[in-house]
Amino acid sequence: MTPEIISLIFPNPLPTPAEIEARYPRRNLPEGAKVTRVAPSPTGFMHVGTLYAGLLCERVAHQSGGVFYLRVEDTDQKRKVDGAMELIVKSLDRYGIRADEGVDVNGDDFGSYAPYTQSARRDIYQAYVKSLLEQGLAYPCFCAAEDLDIMRKIQEKTGVRPGYYGKYAKCRSLTDDQILENLKAGKPFVIRFKSSGDNNKRMIIKDLIKGDLALPENDIDVVIMKGDGLPTYHFAHAVDDHLMGTTHVTRGDEWVSSVPLHIQLFVALGWKAPKYAHFAPLQKTENGNKRKLSKRHDPEASLTYFWEKGYPEVALIEYMLNLINASFEDWRRNNPDKNAFDFPVNFNKISNAAGALFDFVKLHSISKEVVAKMTAAEVYEAVLKWASEYNKPFAERLAANREYVIRILNVERHIGKKSRKDIVKWEDVESDLTYFFDDLLTTTLEEKQALLKPLSENDIRLIADEFSAVYHPAEDKDTWFGHIKTIAEKHGFATDMKAFKENPAAFKGSVSDVAKVLRVLVTGRDKTPDLYEIMQILGVDRVKARLSF
Say yes or no to pLDDT of 79 above 90: no
The mean pLDDT of 348-368, rounded to a whole number, is 86
Is residue 135 domain-shared with residue 237, that is, in the same domain? yes
Q: Is the peptide bond before 188 cis (omega within 30 degrees of 0)?
A: no
Is residue 506 domain-shared with residue 413, that is, in the same domain? no
Is residue 149 domain-shared with residue 272, that is, in the same domain? yes
CATH of the domain at 303: 1.10.1160.10
Q: What does the pLDDT read at residue 416?
A: 60
Is residue 160 domain-shared with residue 271, that is, in the same domain? yes
Query: Residue 523: CA atoms inside 13 Å, Cβ hemisphere, count?
Result: 23
Dihedral, CA of residue 254, residue 257, residue 263 and residue 264, to nearest 10: -130
Categorize the per-residue pLDDT at 353 as very low, low, confident or very high, splitting at 50, 70 and 90.
low
**Under the phi-then-psi rule, with left for phi > 0, alpha for psi from -120 to 50, and beta for the rest, what region is 439?**
alpha
Q: What does the pLDDT read at residue 77?
A: 85
Categorize the per-residue pLDDT at 365 as very low, low, confident or very high, splitting at 50, 70 and 90.
very high
Q: What does the pLDDT read at residue 434?
A: 95
Q: What does the pLDDT read at residue 348?
A: 83
Tell me whether residue 310 is exposed, middle or buried, using C-beta atoms within 10 angstroms of its C-beta: 0 to 12, 13 to 18, 19 or more: buried
The mean pLDDT of 447-473, rounded to a whole number, is 95
Say yes or no to pLDDT of 417 above 70: no
Alpha-carbon distances of 334 from 355, 415, 444, rounded to whole Å: 27, 19, 47
Categorize the per-residue pLDDT at 295 as very low, low, confident or very high, splitting at 50, 70 and 90.
confident
Q: What does the pLDDT read at residue 72?
A: 95
The pTM assigned to this predicted structure is 0.91
Share of the chain above pLDDT 70, in %: 98
**Domain end position, chosen among 279, 306, 326:** 279
Is residue 532 domain-shared with residue 447, that is, in the same domain? yes
What are the φ and ψ backbone dihedral angles of 202, each rounded to 5 degrees?
Answer: -110, 145
Average pLDDT of the chain is 95
What string of H, E and C letters represents the secondary structure of 464-481?
A: HHHHHHHCCCCCCHHHHH
Element holding 265 (H helix, E strand): helix 259-269
Q: How many helices (H) and strands (E) does the chain have?
A: 24, 15
Residue 52 lies in a domain: no
Q: What does the pLDDT read at residue 415?
A: 63
Spatial separation of the C-alpha atoms in residues 91 and 303, rounded to whole Å = 8
Which structural domain range is residue 183 located in?
3-12+122-279
Is residue 448 domain-shared with residue 434, that is, in the same domain? no
Q: What does the pLDDT read at residue 479?
A: 97
CA-nearest of 333, 340, 336, 334 to 318 is 340
The mean pLDDT of 226-246, rounded to a whole number, is 97
Categorize the per-residue pLDDT at 214 as very low, low, confident or very high, splitting at 50, 70 and 90.
very high
Q: What does the pLDDT read at residue 235?
A: 98
